[in-house]
């Protein structure tokens, strides 16, 4: 049984973003499995870095799309994204200082956050876009993710 698993209700109807969400789930599962299997610190560190990078790239792509189509809840949505990024950073800090008892708690928090954010907040923008420029919106995310990839890589390096 995976730690967090994908359900069709999580779909936002935008293929590229659904793929991103599935990938975030997969990274969280890998993280959980590595912790349970007591894998080396460097293996865990690698997954954490990948999770951080992948989440930021995905968030940037979503935010650019929301800005482009004047999504009214953009600011509140961005605050939620920032919260997740902070939690991942905190996770890295706890992990590096060997506070293993907190790591499980933080990983549970990330799981709750992800499931809740996708099913509520991401679902809300999907509803908005369905009523506004839906065909155009659905054709853009691949390009936005490529752009975000480039922007986030620059910011993190
Ligand atoms: Fe998302
Ligand atoms: Fe989001």
Q: Looking at the CA of 55, which ligand is closest?
A: 1
Other beta carbons less than 10 A from residue 83's beta carbon = 12
DSSP letter string, 23-43: HHHHHHHHHHHHHHTT--HHH
Half-sphere exposure of 28 (CA within 13 A, CB side): 26
Residue 157 has pLDDT above 70, yes or no: no
Ligand 2 centroid from CA 117, angstroms: 6
pLDDT recorded at residue 78: 97
Residue 156 has pLDDT above 70, yes or no: no
Domains of the chain in start order, with CATH, are 15-156 (1.20.120.50)
pLDDT tens string 108-123? 999 999 999 999 999 9
Per-residue CA distances from 45 to 35, 69, 88, 104, 131 (Å): 11, 37, 11, 15, 41
* pTM attached to this predicted model: 0.91
Ligand 2 centroid from CA 1, angstroms: 26
pLDDT tens string 35-92? 888 877 788 888 988 999 999 999 999 999 999 999 999 999 999 999 999 988 888 8
Ligand 2 centroid from CA 91, angstroms: 20
Q: Which residues surround the ion ligand 2 when the cut-off is CB under 5 Å?
A: 62, 122
Ligand 1 centroid from CA 64, angstroms: 12
Ligand 2 centroid from CA 16, angstroms: 13
């Amino acid at each position: 049984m995976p730690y967090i698993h994908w359900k069709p209700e999580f779909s936002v109807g935008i293929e590229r973003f659904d793929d991103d969400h599935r990938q975030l789930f997969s990274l969280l599962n890998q993280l959980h499995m590595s912790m349970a299997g007591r894998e080396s610190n460097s293996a865990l560190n690698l997954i954490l870095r990948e999770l951080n990078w992948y989440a930021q790239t995905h968030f940037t792509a979503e935010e650019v799309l929301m800005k482009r189509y004047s999504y009214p809840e953009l600011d509140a949505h961005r605050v939620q994204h920032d919260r997740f990024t902070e939690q991942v950073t905190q996770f890295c800090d706890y992990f590096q200082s060997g506070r293993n008892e907190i790591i499980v708690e933080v990983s549970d928090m990330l799981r709750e956050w992800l499931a809740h954010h996708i099913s509520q907040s991401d679902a809300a923008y999907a509803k908005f876009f369905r009523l506004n420029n839906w065909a155009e919106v659905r054709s853009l995310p691949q390009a936005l993710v490529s752009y975000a990839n480039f922007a986030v890589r620059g910011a993190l390096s």
